[in-house]
Amino acid sequence: MELLIKSANVVDWCGSYFGDVYINDGIISEVGKNLNKDCKTIDAKGLTLMPSFVDLHVHFRDPGFTYKEDIESGSKAAVRGGFTMVNLMANTNPVCSSMDVVNYVKEKASKVGLVDVHQVLSITRNFDGKEISHLEDIDNSIKIISEDGKDVMDGNAMLEAMKLSKQKDLIVMCHCEEHSLSKYDMRIAENIMTLRNLEFAKITGCKIHIAHVSTIEAMRYIIRYKNEGVKVTCEVAPHHLFLNDSVKYRVNPPIRKEEDVLFLIEAIKKGYVDVIATDHAPHTEEDKENGAPGISGIETAFSLCYTKLVKENGLSLSKLSEIMSKNPSEILDVKKGTIEIGYDGDLVLVDLNKKYEINVDEFKSKGKNTPLNGQHVYGKVVKTIKGGKEVYSSSKYNI
């Protein structure tokens, strides 16, 4: 299959140009100006073409909680948000502690055929907090393990998991939260566990990825350990950048103070934040009313980040592309996130000038849980292309 995209403002992490991109057999095969091919052509005049986004932190709730989301609805939501690869968390039912669950997820995702999936395996078996012997049986398709939503409280179990991960070249993705403190102070709970996990990474030499960093202190610890050469990457979620604690909405970690938001934006500008990841956590209205933490975020991520970081805070679009596409692709070790010959033809067309209102009724996700319904933002996803095939097209554009 071939596809030619013409006359776009082409932007990726290393720069921008005005021109065309040609995809053949799923792979970017030519880039330049005035390309002419006898194949399906999109006239992208007035639009910006970027590598599609890669989301390192996603809950599709499948198997087990498919009333909140399933792999099909989640995939549709992802491509509507401009994402073509997702890293799925293990807090399903059953918990993803075996290759059986991994294979179920991967087969279902490939049947739906909209996004590539990496499925995370739990750090401890069935999140029991202690047992890690299941990690011995995994094949090398597993690149990341995580206890997201929980973290591992038992220090020795975490240390052993990191030692094994170092041997097997796995990344340990850390949701940092000391549960004995959560009831009293969610800020100290995040900070103290961030520090423990960083120290364990330093001791073991294991690669870690700190999920949804939300406080000044946690970010400072990460900067310190990065500067010491510890193999740590980190992510920030769009809602921790777009919202401050004047908005009451339950997410974990919580929405923080404006000074935290400003510090995180500075950390992004200075290159300390590797990745924007959504922590897309769909819930039903009822579960949300009963206090379930989380936000349905995969369909609004680009617009929130473009509006907040690029339009309001002067970040370059190339830098945003780096943290939404290139860096997460590198962490997952896939050939995406760059518009260059030989890379996957996974692209997104966006209208940067389009101001629009977020409307949860248009969400493809089953989760309509967001405090951002009605919010005006810039940067609308017009088309999402995966391997040269259109996997999403906004009905509001006729191109």
DSSP 366: S
Q: Does 240 bind Zn ion (CB under 5 A)?
A: no
Residue 89 Cβ, how far from Zn ion at the closest point, in Å? 8
Q: How far is the CB of 197 from Zn ion (least distance, A)?
A: 13
**Alpha-carbon gap, residue 319 to 338, rounded angstroms:** 12
- DSSP SS3 for 383: strand
Q: Does 147 bind Zn ion (CB under 5 A)?
A: no
Closest of 59, 66, 71, 64 to residue 108, by C-alpha = 71
Binding-site residue total for Zn ion (CB under 5 A)?
Answer: 2
- Considering the complex, what minimum distance in angstroms separates the CB of residue 377 from Zn ion? 24
Q: 338 and 15 in contact (C-beta within 8 Å)?
A: no
Point out which span in 78-86, 96-104, 146-154, 281-289 binds Zn ion (CB under 5 A). 146-154
Which of 55, 279, 346, 351 is the catalytic position?
Answer: 279
Identity of the residue, 8 or 236, whose beta carbon is nearer to Zn ion in the bound complex: 236
Cα–Cα distance for residue pair 95/351, rounded to 1 Å? 39
Whole-angstrom distance, CA of residue 87 vs CA of residue 4: 29
List, in sequence order, every residue forming a beta bridge with 385; answer none if it has no partner.
347, 390
In the block, residue with structure tokens 């995040």: 190
How is residue 64 written in tokens?
A: 């087990």
Binding of Zn ion at residue 175 (CB under 5 A)?
yes
- Continuous H helices in the chain: 71-80, 99-112, 155-168, 179-182, 186-204, 216-227, 238-242, 258-269, 285-289, 301-305, 317-321, 327-332
CB of 94 to Zn ion, least distance (A): 19
Is position 148 an interface residue for Zn ion (rule: CB under 5 A)? yes
From the list 171-179, 181-189, 298-306, 381-389, the region that binds Zn ion by CB under 5 A is 171-179
Residue number with CB closer to Zn ion (175 or 196): 175
Q: Specify whether 279 is catalytic.
A: yes
Question: Which of 94, 141, 83, 64 lies closest to 280, judged by CA?
Answer: 83
Closest residue to Zn ion: CB criterion: 175
> Among the candidate windows 1-9, 91-99, 110-118, 172-180, which touches Zn ion by CB under 5 A?
172-180
CB of 144 to Zn ion, least distance (A): 13
Of 175 and 209, the one with the shorter C-beta distance to Zn ion is 175
Which residues of this protein are in contact with Zn ion, per CB under 5 A?
148, 175
Query: What residues are annotated to the active site?
Result: 279
